[in-house]
Structure 1
Amino acid sequence: MAGPRRDTRGIVDAGGLFARVRFRRREPAPELRPFLEHYWLIDWDLDEPYASQVVPHPSVNVVFQHFARESPGTHKSRPFAEIAGIRHELFVQKLAGRGRVCGVQFRPGGFRPFSPGRSVADWTGRQIPLAEAMPVTDDDIAAVLGPEAEDDRVAALDAYLLAVVAAAPAPEHAPHVARATALADLVRRDRSMRRVDALAQAGGLSPRSLQRLFAGYVGVGPKWVILRYRIHEALERAEAAGGTADWSTLAADLGYSDQAHLVRDFTATVGVSPTAYGRAV
């Protein structure tokens, strides 16, 4: 079984989060890797509340959660599971007391086989009980959240997801899933992929067909995916450089027409300017 790995892309002030919680990312079973990015596991026991912030990926997440104690003398309800569709805005999660989260981040385009009857765009901006999208039982949730051993939690996630996808085969979706994930990966890897028409050409599609593909299988449009991966790159560069980054050069590297456009997008997404963010972390 693959060991833990750490990737901070999209996490605002990753150092602050890692100083307060135990955070790991783990690889799923080989059969699931065409559909999943990774599992993410968080355990915490905090004296003071902490607000974790993430610039969302163009990915659906399935999240198993147990907030054992929110604050001294209070107790949360039993463990539960949710589907979190792609969010357009900054995601803020308040962590307090003691708890555990076992999350599944799907690849862009990878969620559709697990809920084949619905367009992925139907889940965008929503955070709802998992049972509304996928079959899940209390025993499934307990199997994921109960074990203390991390490997056992990962094995439970593998078993649950393999059972779900096997129970709802939808081979007609396979070529569209493969194309959507490949095109989203191209945007992430290739900084020169800055235009929707260029991405459509790379995929052998018309721009309109590309829009339909992304709506049905990714959940957001291709332009949003391009812009979001730019912001992720800017976030990492801002954190690495502190307050000393050359934003004009970075804007050009990321395909912005000028520095002002980068600053505007970054500030609208993260809530502060790139320079202020770099100095703060």
Structure 2
Amino acid sequence: MTGKPMLNPIWLQTFVTAAQSKSFTEAGRRLNLTQSTVSDHIVRLETELGRRFFIRDTHSLALTGDGESLLVHARLILEAEARARLHFAGPPLRGRVRLGTSDDMAMGPLPDMLAGFRRLYPEVELDLTLGITDNLYVQLEAGALDLMTGKRRNGDHRGHTLYREALIWFGPEGMAMPQDPLPLVLLPEPSITRAMVLDTLARAGKSWRVTCNSSSHAGCAAAVRAGLGFTVLPKSMTFAGLAPMRDLPPLTQVEYIAVIAPDAGRPAKTLLDILTAARG
């Protein structure tokens, strides 16, 4: 025996969920565990590795530098374990998955998720539809999609949380902050991001005018580069010629989820398993 640390997958799943939650209590609700059990898993993990992974008090929960590093490794370990279990779970997987996704996910983490699925199940055909999240909900409810990924719709409690991400204001590089009304470049109705942006500005008492609507974030970025106004993008999405704007009302995080149709088949359920394992 070498005495090397053992990374219990159950502890790692608890850690990943806690890292994406506001508190251990919230993580416990998501995992169907008590707050004390979540805390015990984290303490065991910290003791096993001899590092501290969270800075926590009565009001907040944040990752340390070691916690940020462990989060990367934990996701990879959990994804590998899920793939191994799925690989040996039954006969070869065949069929088709009609997947709808928002373009910010398609330009972000989704390709890596799909690559893992493709390596394991090369005989499954994938139909990919890009669209505004709210429209994808409509297509899912109409039976046109088996599975969708995108932002959580306000008041809708369905779906599996994939991750949360901050929304950031962007403007063209070198452009000074304009006076009211604020020119905006946004996704069209019924965009969830658009609703969040306009609600934030209204609460802050700031006037605006929409100068351009685009069906994609790439189109919004092009309009911003052309000087038409300011837009909002997920923190992980960057475009050349755009710069973060610091003097606008801060936006809340957005929750990205996966929602599966009630009558979805095994291929869609398997893809959902990989998506949730990949992002914790």
Fold agreement, TM-score > 0.5: no
TM-score, length of structure 2 as denominator length: 0.29
- Structure with higher RCO (Cα < 8 A, 6+ apart): 2
Bigger radius of gyration, 1 or 2?
2
TM-score, length of structure 1 as denominator length: 0.29
